[in-house]
Structure 1
Amino acid sequence: MIRHCQHLAASSEFPTRFGEKKVQAYEPDIVSIGPLHSGRRGDQFQLMENVKRWYLQCLLSHANITLASLIKGVVDLDKRARDCYAEPLDLNKKEFVEMMVLDGCFLIELFRKGPSDEQHDENDPVYRMSGIRLYLYHDLLLLENQLPWFVLERIYSLTAVKNTTCEGHASSLTNLVLNFFIEYLGDNHILNRSEELHPKFLHILDLIRTVIVAPFENQSKGTQMPRIPNVTTLSEAGIKFEKSSKPSSCILDIKFDKGVITMPRLVIDERTGPLFRNLIAFEQCYYSCPHMITSYAVLMDNLINSSKDIDLLCEKGILTNWLSPEDAAQFFNHLHSDTLVIRFYYGGLCDAVNQHYNTNWNKWMEKLRREYFGTPWAIISLVAAFILLVLTMLQTVYTIHQYYHPPE
């Protein structure tokens, strides 16, 4: 049963419902964080288990704190942290607290090393081999691979260097985490930090989602999910697509006004799928989380049916696609499979688009423009035909006039 608290993963049905079609999007590759995958700490996880212990010693050293003191400082979080997981845990109290300390210190030290090359050891496999970081970026954003944020805050507070200048531990920890993931996402504006964040996140994935959706302007929402035609069909009916001119636009901030759909830019590559799938899984599993990312996935599935739709949005600069057009289309078509949308956030937009699309005058005008004004030669032919028609009419009028009014 899913607990109505700050749980970090869904019930035991989660891998069956979400993971069976795209297992690699939900399961870690090289590092296990938290208790849900702790039984798999071997084989492909062994390298990072060694790195965890090394990072733990590094953090203890520069923070000038003993391991015993650190464990004592977090032991009171045991029950509160356990209650965050919906599944029963096999770890006893000692094992669970030691797991929190080891994984939490690894994450804090990893994020601390991230921004500055001066913090990197030449023997550190994480920063010596960029491929490992790509796996880490993937694994640390998985819904089932999380530690409670309050655990990270406590460890950060206990290990923070005294001369660090920051406005507060929570704010500084937030910045460390975001700075680490900005490189991974491949899109500088997807993590828009223009909004002031309240540092009460459930975990790292919740932080990433909060930053993505924070600038999203409220739109009409409801239980109904009206469908709209795809990009190609809408374009043929005269509806235009434009890239948002705001550099800080939230990717969810899609607008429709006077026959124009305005959309922020989105980069699609092999990293986009796992990120969106875990964000959607989080919205589906946490009872009070608004279905904003899920609504976005539904809308994009409506707009994109084939590679033609992908190509058109790429031409407009709305999509930057590093996959094949066919794979990108399939990505959107399957992104929200087996999900339920409560409070669809684009209902008003879809209604306005459908109303415009179903107006025959708009379709006729677009057909006229496309068939007779689409190319310079078509325009020249139309003008020539018009001139010929006018001359023919003048000739006819002149002939009739001559017949009834012959010259004297």
Structure 2
Amino acid sequence: MAGDREDVIIEMKFPTEISKGIPNEGQLHEVMQQRLAVLPGEARKYEPLKLFRVPACFREANKVMYEPLEVSIGPYYQGRESLRSMEKYKWKVLRDFLSRNPDVGLDVYLLETKKLEADTRKWYGESISLGSDEFVMMLVLDGCFIIEYFLKRQNSEFDAFFGVAGWSVKSDLLLLENQIPFFVIHKLFSVHESLNAECNENCSLLELVVKYLPASDTFTRSKPPCKEINHLLHLFYWYLTFNATKIHSIISTPEEYGTFSGIESRYSWLESTGKDVKQEDITIPCVTKLHEAGVKFRLKKNFSHYFDITFKNGIIEMPLNVLNKPWCRLLTNIVTFEQNLPMQFRIGTSYAQLMDLLVNNEKDVVLLEKKGLIENWLGSEEAAAAFCNQLGSCGILDIGNHYFLDFMKDLRAYARLPWPRYRAKLMHDYFSNPWSLISILAAGLLLILTVVQTYYTISHA
């Protein structure tokens, strides 16, 4: 019940003596002690937030990346005026969902969801003001909306509303602040399918959802246990980084989250943690300057994860990056989602900061487009460069924990070799524009003609 929640905030009502500046130590001690007693968790034990608000320092710079455009999921945007049309439409979606299995009545969904209310409230990073009935109704409406959305996709059922707002709805479902716990969705789906709530490796809900996540064709076919998934964005993150880290296995386990026992040894990139790393170690030239220095760029077709960028023998290889509005929103939310993870596991944040270094302006974007590494759907190269630059400012990362630390060190070492440096200077000073090239060719041709003329003059003398 809502009244039994552990996260109830005790209102600070101070006695008259305290408000007038006359201390009453006994009463003050009692009020503060009550406030401490209802705090969730244990002292000095790190417990990650599961469903939290985007920090203001990131939100204010780019609200459109974090706020839903069409549909509100969960309590944070409940009742927003701009989303009211979809709130009304959720009832039609609920009716469609219930009609798929008439043997299961609405009362069953409400009863099973009611059992999850107390646990669900604890997952949010702030106290939820909705009453018990309102909260449960929201969970049922939103959870069934999500399931029905994917069922319509699976069955190729045309829906006019989803058709009009298709990409924005899909994008909204993966926003950090627009989530409900995955165990709520799983419970509703289990009731609908008349299955046990326990998840197994052949979970049909995961099979349904993953198929229609962005870039799903590149995902590994292994699936996580449902109990280890916090929400839809976390599920997508699990697949996006699966072969890079095992972050999915510790996100929902507080005791492992705090200690990381037995985890560091699995990943060579964690060994850089604690090393004496300087700012210059992660200062690398932009794409254009690297190209001038002889660095080649190639599309990596067989990559193990989305952030699989490598440098070897003077060649940078990376997967294709399709820059469109939904994908940009998703990457931004992934970087912000990682801010709740320890520094060692922020691979998306490392990627964002690497792209910020590689792309300074539109010239860098043009070059990456020519090499087939970027598809730009943002309208202009300037817009693409601006996104890469702002993405790097959406997260914080300690230098020593940068996923691409070795990559950048190797790149700097290569750029400092004599030939790449001379080549870069030659390209910048003499081949930076067509007129310089024409002048050099003309001078070379003149020199050749002069040598030929001198040779014939001497030979016929």
TM-score class, shorter-chain normalisation, is 0.7 to 0.9
1:283 Cα deviation after fit: 0.6
1:59 Cα deviation after fit: 2.0
- Gaps of at least 5 residues in structure 1 are 183-187, 403-408
User: What residue in structure 2 maps to residue 10 of structure 1?
Assistant: 52
2:407 to 335, 349, 374: 349
CA shift in 2, pair 1:174/1:389, >3 Å: farther
User: What residue in structure 1 maps to residue 22 of structure 2?
Assistant: none
1:277 to 314, 332, 337: 332
2:135 to 96, 119, 128: 96
8 Å CA contact 2:355, 2:392 repeated in 1:
no
Runs of 4+ in structure 1 over 4 Å off: 1-6, 167-170, 286-289, 365-372, 374-396
8 Å CA contact 2:175, 2:233 repeated in 1:
yes
**1:291 equivalent in alignment to 2:346:** yes
Aligned-partner residue type, residue 232 of structure 1: T
8 Å CA contact 1:283, 1:289 repeated in 2:
no
8 Å CA contact 2:70, 2:168 repeated in 1:
yes
Identical-pair percentage: 31
**1:244 equivalent in alignment to 2:300:** yes
User: What residue in structure 2 maps to residue 263 of structure 1?
Assistant: 318
8 Å CA contact 1:31, 1:45 repeated in 2:
yes
Q: Secondary structure at the match of 1:294?
A: helix
**1:23 equivalent in alignment to 2:66:** no
2:289 to 233, 243, 253: 233
User: What residue in structure 1 maps to residue 155 of structure 2?
Assistant: 116
User: What residue in structure 2 maps to residue 406 of structure 1?
Assistant: none
1:148 to 174, 181, 204: 181
1:245 Cα deviation after fit: 3.4
User: What residue in structure 1 maps to residue 358 of structure 2?
Assistant: 303
1:132 Cα deviation after fit: 1.2
User: What residue in structure 1 maps to residue 391 of structure 2?
Assistant: 335
Alignment RMSD (CA, Å):
3.3
Distance 2:269 2:455 in 1: 55
1:168 Cα deviation after fit: 5.3
Q: Deviations over 1:163-211 (max 9, x none)?
A: xxxx9587322232233333xxxxx47x622251313211001111111
Distance 1:148 1:169 in 2: 19
Taking structure 2 as the reference length, what is the TM-score of the superposition? 0.72
8 Å CA contact 1:9, 1:285 repeated in 2:
no
Aligned-partner residue type, residue 209 of structure 2: V
User: What residue in structure 2 maps to residue 193 of structure 1?
Assistant: 219
Distance 2:173 2:344 in 1: 20
Q: Deviations over 1:126-151 (max 9, x none)?
A: 34xx3311221221111111011111
**1:216 equivalent in alignment to 2:244:** yes
CA shift in 2, pair 1:6/1:34, >3 Å: farther
Distance 1:106 1:337 in 2: 33
Q: Secondary structure at the match of 2:115?
A: helix
1:325 to 369, 381, 386: 381
2:211 to 175, 179, 189: 179
Does 357-366 or 314-323 show the bigger shift? 357-366
CA shift in 2, pair 1:175/1:365, >3 Å: same
User: What residue in structure 2 maps to residue 125 of structure 1?
Assistant: 160
User: What residue in structure 2 maps to residue 37 of structure 1?
Assistant: 77
Q: Secondary structure at the match of 1:220?
A: helix
Aligned-partner residue type, residue 69 of structure 1: V
1:137 to 153, 170, 183: 170
Aligned-partner residue type, residue 268 of structure 1: L
CA shift in 2, pair 1:386/1:359, >3 Å: farther
CA shift in 2, pair 1:62/1:131, >3 Å: closer
Distance 1:219 1:231 in 2: 26
Aligned-partner residue type, residue 95 of structure 2: Q
Q: Secondary structure at the match of 1:180?
A: coil
8 Å CA contact 1:104, 1:155 repeated in 2:
yes
Distance 2:320 2:40 in 1: 35
Aligned-partner residue type, residue 253 of structure 1: D
**1:207 equivalent in alignment to 2:242:** no
1:213 Cα deviation after fit: 1.4
Distance 1:91 1:153 in 2: 22
Q: Deviations over 1:310-340 (max 9, x none)?
A: 0000000001112201111111111131521
CA shift in 2, pair 1:141/1:358, >3 Å: same
CA shift in 2, pair 1:76/1:6, >3 Å: farther
Q: Secondary structure at the match of 2:316?
A: strand
User: What residue in structure 2 maps to residue 405 of structure 1?
Assistant: none
8 Å CA contact 1:62, 1:161 repeated in 2:
no
Q: Secondary structure at the match of 2:116?
A: helix
1:280 Cα deviation after fit: 1.0
8 Å CA contact 1:8, 1:144 repeated in 2:
no
Taking structure 1 as the reference length, what is the TM-score of the superposition? 0.81
Distance 1:252 1:339 in 2: 16
Distance 2:207 2:121 in 1: 26
1:271 Cα deviation after fit: 2.0
Aligned-partner residue type, residue 132 of structure 1: A
Q: Secondary structure at the match of 1:320?
A: strand
Q: Deviations over 1:106-160 (max 9, x none)?
A: 111111111222x34xxx4334xx3311221221111111011111111111112
Aligned-partner residue type, residue 76 of structure 2: L
Q: Secondary structure at the match of 2:297?
A: strand
